[in-house]
Chains A and B, each alone.
Chain A
Amino acid sequence: MSVETSFKYDKDYVGKFSESRQEPQWLLDLRLRALELAQQLPMPKPDKTKIDKWNLTEFNHISSKENGTELPEQVKALIGEDGEAGNLLVIQNGKTLRSSVTEELAAQGVIFTDLVTAVKEHGDLLQKYFMQDGVSVDENRLTAIHAALVNNGAFIYVPKNVEVKSPLQAIYFHDDEQSGLVNHVIVAAEDNSSVTYVENYLSTNNEGDSVSNIVSEVFAGPGAKVVYGAVDNLAKGMTSYINRRGRAGRDARIEWALGQLNDGNTVSDNTTHLVGDGSFADTKTVNIGKGDQKQNFVAQIFHHGKSSEGYILTHGVMKDAASSIFNGITKIEHGATKSNGEQTERVLMLSEKARGDANPILLIDEDDVTAGHAASVGRIDPIQLFYLMSRGISKAEAERLIIHGFLGPVVNEMPLESVKKRLVEVIERKVR
């Protein structure tokens, strides 16, 4: 049963907010319709995870905190040496702090900007993608709240045949305990283009009770390739609802590399629709739970097109009294002949109280396909631990080695060195 919540933002508020952003009519209309739906629609129902006691709806919309002009230290650490000169977006507490794109890319018609700017400068283009064919406004109360209150995010547009060589990096940093994070990312890659986008979500609110409501929509046009890397590292005080969705056209590829490492309760769904014939999706996720954290992870690929290929690889580590559901879903629709779907979920549990539930699900409505799955949930083998310790390695270090060994096959597959490095850092911190 979902708790009835007194959603505190009304038509008047949303109208004024939209006006203050000089938003076009279509967006105002969409927000107002979403607001109405937010009051009617039920909450999402993640499989086997009860979220009725979670706060995902009550939060302050806009941060009252003023950003400085300097990048915060935590953000600098994420950017690395040459990041600041290149293609970079930094949003702090929902407000854009940096937005840069190289002249070379701009000259090729590539757009990489914050959502607020995109609404003003590329409104018509944005309208084509924003909550139309990806994540819909009316899926549930949280997608509706998202549309009504979406605050900032990123808009990436790559025209036909343009190959973006260096990665586009975005950092969503939140150090305001009071306000929510309603962030929306769109990656639209036109025919035969390619782009790599990498995002970091980072917050400092260990205490308190805040909410993140995050939606990403990825569109890979015919022959396009999108590589999407993410490291989610939101603090314990943030309850998160995350929806990352992709649609791949004919012969298009979408590759996800997701480090789902939040410290707060999290529902995270990653779904790819292989719409076009010959389309391809690869979803790799690394997930860690600690403390009394509850999480629900879905990784799913829908095969609609013929000869489409989808691969899911999920590795999770559960510490302390953390509990997580891992649902991997491969759905091959009728008519998606010659398709291949494979998935693997592996969970390592580090304590007696930890819970991990890996469910590989194959739903196949077509005969002429191949599909496979594997899943395992296990604990650290005490004999392995003994072996490592018998060489002088401390118990803590031995466990660390075993965990890295376990996550390694996924971490090492991450597309970018910077994501890999960042992942290792966060894993290191989280499993310590």
Chain B
Amino acid sequence: MSMVSAPDQRRDTREPRFGFWRRSYAMVVKEFIQLRRDRVSFAMIVMIPVMQLLLFGFAINTTPRNLPTAVLLQEDSDLGRSILKALENTAYFRFTREVHDVAEFDNLLQSGKVLFGVEIPRGFERAVRRGDRPALLVAADATDPVAAGSALSTLGVVVQTALEHDLRTGDPPSLPFEIRAHARYNPAASSRLNIVPGLVGTILTMTMLIFTALSVTREIERGTMESLLSMPIKPVEVMFGKILPYVLVGFIQATLIIGIGVLLFGVPVRGSLMMLALLSTLFITTNLSIGYTFSTIVQNQLQAMQLSMMFFLPSILLSGFMFPFAGMPVWAQYLGEGLPLTHYVRIVRAIMLKGATMENIQYDAIALVVLMLLAMTIAVTRFRRTLD
């Protein structure tokens, strides 16, 4: 066994060049290794977003199946029966009632016994043959906007495909009749398209908060903080070291969630993907900073979890993800403006669904930057450099 080295007196102990970067880098490498070693956390990076998205996505947006539907047949024609058959084949609709007058039709919808009503008006087939483009009426109970929305939105395509060989109308390949969909009770029916983008933000908020909310308390509880504090590292460097690895993790998660959203749920990305990636990274960093701030405030891991939940719940409720932001009372709107999720939900919806440009969303982007800097400032000032 050999001796431990004596210090080389010639080597100096002055502040090294690029000390800030070297120390931050040391911290980042260390955090990465620890993350990699922690199999459970590592698995969670993939599991949490996928599970959440699938659960939320399918639970909130159940693909409508066998929705009870009433049929009001005003005439008995081949074309009418073909259309009904096509509708039933989509598996969205299940014809549970056949009614003969409008009052009964309305009554069934009103009482919720059926969610849809399909009306083939009198003289329908003849009007089609004449080329008058008569209206096929489909009424939907849109109090469940998701169920109604997706069924209605696919209606045109479905009927057209189903009837293609029946009708043989040639060019143009359009329906010889008009489908007049009427979403009752909730005309501005929102759809899954609106929910998936919000989910991206919700899931990221939760996972990012938890990753960093435990980071400082973990060092304290494992006893490693004492060593760390006895070395020449500064609070900002500790913070960067603890946040940066998770920016990458968050980015992977965001990619995963948006990827699933696009591939599985058919959500479009109409705006710039680059801008979406950039602002998602900003949002991720903001949440990581907030989580890290929590970990510098609390005494132990339990408190860290509680604080994260305290932050997460209002984020869900007040961000406009669950309830329309404009419909909330003013005080709740003010609270909502202070939550990063509010701004991110707006940003994602705008980019993905509306193809927004930077100018459209700069207010929300700036708000995210401000919240991030605020959190970082609190974290750095709150970080205890001694064991007092």
Do A and B originate from a single complex?
A: no
